[in-house]
Amino acid sequence: MQPIGHAPAISSSDSWLALSIGNSRLHWAQFTGNDLQHTWNTPHFSATDAQQCLASLTPNAPLYIASVVPQQSQLWQAYPSAHVITLEQVLLQGLYPTLGIDRALAVWGAIDTVGSPVLLIDAGTALTLTGAAGDRLVGGAILPGLRLQFQSLNQATAALPDMGTANLTVQHPLPPRWAANTADAIASGILYTLLAGLQAFVDDWWQQFPDSPVMLRGGDSDRLHSYLTAYAPALARQITIEPNLIFWGMRKVRGERLKDEG
């Protein structure tokens, strides 16, 4: 087991850790003050592994946690300097109570990076769109993520294979739309529908907010961006990949908290 991934020893008194808990895995970052030093991902932890990990952390180094998986966050809350981020700490208007904290933080981080309005596409376990204008959430959408779409066909049918997404390479990013074998037919159905859907969402966003930046994050960002480049190159050029948006949101939460503490 990797203890806590590749976390370097925390030396500075201004060091802190950010942990974003997604449905597929854990996303970690180490900061010194406002400077991001290092990021890495790990699988979800068992209770025993998490305890071992916590014991290895420098005492009192703050651990900021943003989680959409309650069972996993419970494991890390045992750490005395854990600080679990809630929606109240995201200073945006119009957040609804069940909104995912990952979406709220990432869109807040996106505003911090490119301003507002902004549309965020998060290509993770679930694929989400989250739009904000001014300091207000406009709204968004949730659909199964890329890997989940392939997995669900395999799980709910007798004859469809588990293709994962590994065999969909960047060199040959899109299958023929009118496919003549099962693997291509699945890839065609999922990819052309997803790409057309994303294009429709972004076009609608631009009707409301012309020239708004569009940001992309999540484990499938690179793959999705390469598909988009093949499908709609002009659109792809206007979408910026920024893997660290949740961490920028967490950094803002920490900043506000330090301000409050004076």
Ligand X SMILES: CC(C)(COP(=O)(O)O)[C@@H](O)C(=O)NCCC(=O)O
Ligand Y SMILES: Nc1ncnc2c1ncn2[C@@H]1O[C@H](COP(=O)(O)OP(=O)(O)O)[C@@H](O)[C@H]1O
251 marked as binding residue: no
Binding mask 207-226 for ligand Y (x = CB under 6 A): -----------xxx------
Beta strands in the chain (DSSP E): 15-21, 26-32, 35-42, 63-67, 82-84, 118-123, 126-133, 136-144, 214-217, 239-241
Q: How many residues bind K ion (CB under 5 A)?
A: 4
* Distance in Å from the first CA to the final CA of the chain: 40
What amino acid occupies position 105? L
Tell which one of 26, 57, 63, 68 touches ligand X (CB under 6 A): 68
Residue whose Cβ sits closest to K ion:
124
The pair of three-digit structure tokens given for residue 230, joined into one six-digit string: 């093949």
**Interface of this chain with ligand Y, residues 124 to 153, rule: CB under 6 A:** 124-125, 145-147
- Residue 246 contacts residue 148 (beta carbons within 8 Å): no
Q: How far apart are CA 61 and CA 126, in angstroms?
A: 31
The pair of three-digit structure tokens given for residue 173, joined into one six-digit string: 């990013």
122 marked as binding residue: yes
Give the nearer residue to K ion in terms of CB position, either 62 or 109. Answer: 109
Closest separation in Å from C-beta 24 to ligand Y:
3
Please give the distance of CA 137 from its chain centroid, rounded to a whole number. Answer: 17
25 marked as binding residue: yes
What does the H/E/C string look like for 95-140? Answer: CCCCCCHHHHHHHHHHHHHHCCCEEEEEECCEEEEEEEECCEEEEE
Contact between 100 and ligand X by CB under 6 A: the answer reads yes
For the question of residue 102 being annotated catalytic, the response is yes
Give the nearer residue to ligand Y in terms of CB position, either 22 or 140. Answer: 22
101 marked as binding residue: yes
255 marked as binding residue: no
Q: Which of 14, 102, 203, 220 is catalytic?
A: 102
Binding residues for ATP: 20-27, 125
Residues that bind ligand X (CB under 6 A): 22-23, 68, 98-100, 102-103, 122, 124-126, 128, 142
Hey, which residues are catalytic here?
102
Residues that bind K ion (CB under 5 A): 122, 124, 126, 128
